Amino acid sequence: MLFDSHAHIDDKRFDADREDVIKRAAEAGLIGILNAGACMESSARSVALAQRHDMVFAAVGIHPHDAKDAADGDYDQLAAWHSQAKVVAIGEIGLDYYYDLSPREIQRQVFIRQIDVARQLNKPIIIHDRDAHGDVLAIVKKEAKGLTGVFHCFSGSVEMAKEVIKLGFYVSFAGPVTYAKDGKLKEVAASVPLERLLVETDCPYLTPQPYRGRRNEPAHVKYTAEEVARVRGLEFAALAEAATANTKELFGIVL
């Protein structure tokens, strides 16, 4: 019983075999896939996927890469999508100072405005944080009081993970935790309280071992879960059960 807590199966790289990808996920034992929006167009696709497939749920949001294209009316549309039961979060949103595809000040403004939408809706947020730990934490501390959510594809330190959890957020691990060189990330995965831990693919990106170098897909989340279980000294079934329960609890999903 696994739940891929963060995927992008609306991506064009799945256009040729999307139905087969979802079928393989179910055959691999997944009970759910949360498809995260990255712009208004992909958010719309995410909502449509959730409408068509029982095991797919949707988050809607504007990724920091696309912050420069955000328009005032977009925030009303993000809220309107939440009238549908299977739209469960605002995301993915946040800051990306690695690529800087949008000016940093605009990234911060769009991040804050989407947090405000989540507050009005009382919905969790899915946070993208790449090379922007300080600013992300500062904004969450100031603007997201009373909210919960997840730092997806976590890349911070053990100390940052502790701070994130104190703020009421969850920590999610993706394929990089399976890479041999990511010893620090394995340390974080071993330290996060089990009740605050999620697993994800972020597919089609960040493919875990042994499929690294190929397109990622939800069925591969088991490799991430297996590695997290290994570094924690847990049975795989126990880790899978806990991560799935946490995902359902965070996003208010009843299956």
Q: Tokens 């405005």, residue?
A: 113
User: To 10 degrees, what angle do helices 72-81 and 40-52 make?
Assistant: 10
Name the average pLDDT for the chain. Answer: 98
The pLDDT value given to residue 24: 98
Tokens of 133: 């730990």
Residue 83: the pLDDT is: 97
- What is the DSSP track for 120-149? HHT--EEEEEES-HHHHHHHHHHH-TT--E
Please tell me the distance from the alpha carbon of residue 111 to that of residue 61, in angstroms, as a whole number: 9
**pLDDT exceeds cutoff 90 at 242:** yes
Amino acid occupying residue 225: A
Q: Helices 221-232 and 183-191, interaxial angle, to 10°?
A: 70
Residue with tokens 């299977």: 86
pLDDT at 158: 98
**Model confidence at 104, in pLDDT bands (50, 70, 90)?**
very high
Residue 79, classified by CB atoms within 10 Å of its CB into exposed (0-12), middle (13-18) or buried (19+), is: middle
Query: What Å distances lie between residue 185 and 89, 192, 227, 232, CA to CA?
Result: 26, 11, 11, 12
Rounded to whole angstroms, the Cα distance separating 196 from 133 reads 19
- What is the predicted pLDDT for the residue at 68? 98
Pull the structure tokens for residue 234: 């847990």
Helix (H) or strand (E) holding 42: helix 40-52
Confidence band, pLDDT 50/70/90 cuts, at residue 226:
very high
- Cβ contact 203:9 at 8 Å: yes
> Would the CA dihedral through 237, 242, 248, 251 be positive or negative?
negative
pLDDT at 181: 87
> CA 35, CA 41: separation in Å to the nearest integer?
13
The pTM (predicted TM-score) of the whole model is 0.98
What is the pLDDT, as a whole number, of residue 39?
Answer: 98
The span from the CA of 122 to the CA of 214, in Å, is 37
224: number of CA atoms within 13 Å, CB side? 33
Instruction: Give all domains of the chain, ordered by start, each with its CATH number.
Output: 2-251 (3.20.20.140)
Chain segment 43-100, per-residue pLDDT in tens:
999 999 999 999 999 999 999 999 999 999 999 999 999 999 999 999 999 999 999 9
Q: Residue written as tokens 């993208």?
A: 128
DSSP 205-216: SSPPTTSTTS--
Per-residue pLDDT tens digits for 141-173: 999 999 999 999 999 999 999 999 999 999 999
* 182 confidence band (pLDDT: 50, 70, 90): confident
The pLDDT > 90 percentage for the chain reads 98
